[in-house]
A and B are shown apart, each in its own frame.
Chain A
């Protein structure tokens, strides 16, 4: 273990795991409670368009991903709120178009493209110090916003009509939430890759929501669980020479199935 920590890339990777866990716990809980899993998945995949575009123009792919995932969050959020029918179709189409843009621009970029794969499948071992600072910044922003609007976010997640009748700024809160999802996606992209983001964003919170009744408790438990999943997955992948992102997701998936079984078969689970 000490040997492990002597590698700079390993220290960075473990630190990245800690940082994304907070975003996962906090944003993931809101995504699960507000039933925005599909939007979160759509935003994640659309972000690949930004990666491809940035790659083509020789800009830092993270910037492209931030721009695309924020744009996708707002667009999908708008579709979700404004159109009455076929929201899932529209979001699904945007999801695919975003990915297609990324792939086409990658095709048009000459040279070696292995780096692009790391955005799809994650590369926690390649996390740089700059990435860590960016993650820390996003965490501070996201956690402050959620702390500031905690009771209002809970109220709109539970019952939006009632919140509107109380004259809460429901639309603004929704906008803030989709923007936070966009930022969380960029963070998680480095760790598990765009394709598997939905799992890490939703599984810890979904487990918490099965057993707990207070939103802040769910957020804490989800943070702890994603810390266990990312660290555990990272160590396993290191020792068995596996892809880290996929290992993290498989551990999460197994834990979720286990939690579902426990919830199903213990009648009087303590709330």
Chain B
């Protein structure tokens, strides 16, 4: 760890960011600072730019305008400190690979080219597998596992990179309710251990009991570093209250949390 006397730069620092694909602008004037130890839940409608924002942070998409810094560096350099859990849809569900081999990918890096995995790597891989409760399944084929088990394997792979920030894109899509709770409990523990978490999700009602701060996003980001989700934020994000209910965000749940926040 770095000397605590030196003021650490924020993990992520985004200023006046615009980004998009071809002729379409998906992100408009995004400003976001992610501080150490936070657990941010980002909600918003499909196509609202949540995944795009993640990809810009990871240096996978070039911004059109504005600046993005990861640990005070350009995303291409700083992203080695980010543990990334991509969206479920990005995988080939029949890909032949063992659970342990997936997690070992977390130990890869440019410095690792031409060098085999070490005993230390193996120890870290086993420890991360145990952390997500998948050590006993390490020799199984990934394609035999349930959706929830697979997600935990991807979390273990991201943890194997020794990340300062864990970034997850809809980790509970196609996962049943029980497994969902398991994953959120796990993220909660990981955050307690000092790993900052940035979680993109659509289920606010579950997430609101685990995260520390919530942001709403639809092209523009509404984030004030607080857990309060105001009606105003939601109206700006989802458009209208009818839309809200359609997206499974009953006001009742929100009202309770407004009180807590």
Contacts and interface: CB of A to CB of B under 8 A. Distances in A.
Interface of A: 33, 35, 84, 148-149, 151-152, 154-155, 157-159, 161-169, 209, 212-215, 218, 271
A152 B109 contact: no
A218 B94 CA distance: 14
A212 B96 contact: yes
Contacts of B60: 161, 164-165
Given A165-B60, A214-B101, A158 B95 contact: yes
Contact of A166 (B98, B109, B116): B109
Interface stretch (B75-83, B184-192, B214-222): B75-83
B52 to A, nearest CB: 13
A218 B96 contact: yes
B58 interface: yes
- Give the interface size bracket for B toward A: 35 or more
Contact of B117 (A151, A157, A213): A151
Contacts of A209: 94, 96
Contact of B96 (A33, A166, A169): A33
Contacts of B104: 151
A169 B58 CA distance: 15
A218 B114 CA distance: 22
A82 B90 CA distance: 18
Contacts of B102: 158
Given A166-B108, A213-B98, 6 more contacts: A84-B21, A158-B95, A159-B86, A168-B109, A169-B110, A213-B141
A45 B26 CA distance: 40
Interface of B: 21-22, 55, 58-60, 76, 79-80, 82, 84, 86, 90-92, 94-98, 101-102, 104-106, 108-110, 112-114, 116-117, 140-144, 157, 161
A25 to B, nearest CB: 14
Closest 3 CB pairs of A and B: A213-B141, A271-B141, A155-B105
A165 B106 CA distance: 10
A154 B84 contact: no
Nearest to A160: B90
Contact of A154 (B22, B97, B112, B116): B97
Nearest to B55: A161
Contact of B90 (A33, A154, A159, A271): A159
Contacts of A162: 84, 86, 105, 157
Contacts of B94: 209
A159 B108 contact: no
B108 A168 contact: yes
B86 A161 contact: yes
12 contacts: A84-B22, A151-B108, A159-B86, A159-B91, A161-B55, A164-B60, A166-B108, A167-B79, A168-B109, A213-B97, A213-B140, A218-B96
A60 to B, nearest CB: 35
Contact of A167 (B86, B90, B110, B157): B110
Given A165-B58, A166-B108, A271 B84 contact: no
Among A33, A151, A161, A165, find the residue whose CB has the most chain B CB atoms closer than 10 A: A165
Nearest to B77: A167
Nearest to B106: A166
A35 B96 CA distance: 13
Given A152-B108, A162-B84, A271 B97 contact: no
Contacts of B110: 166-169
A212 B142 CA distance: 11
Contact of A161 (B84, B117, B143, B161): B84
A212 B144 CA distance: 12
Contacts of A155: 105, 108
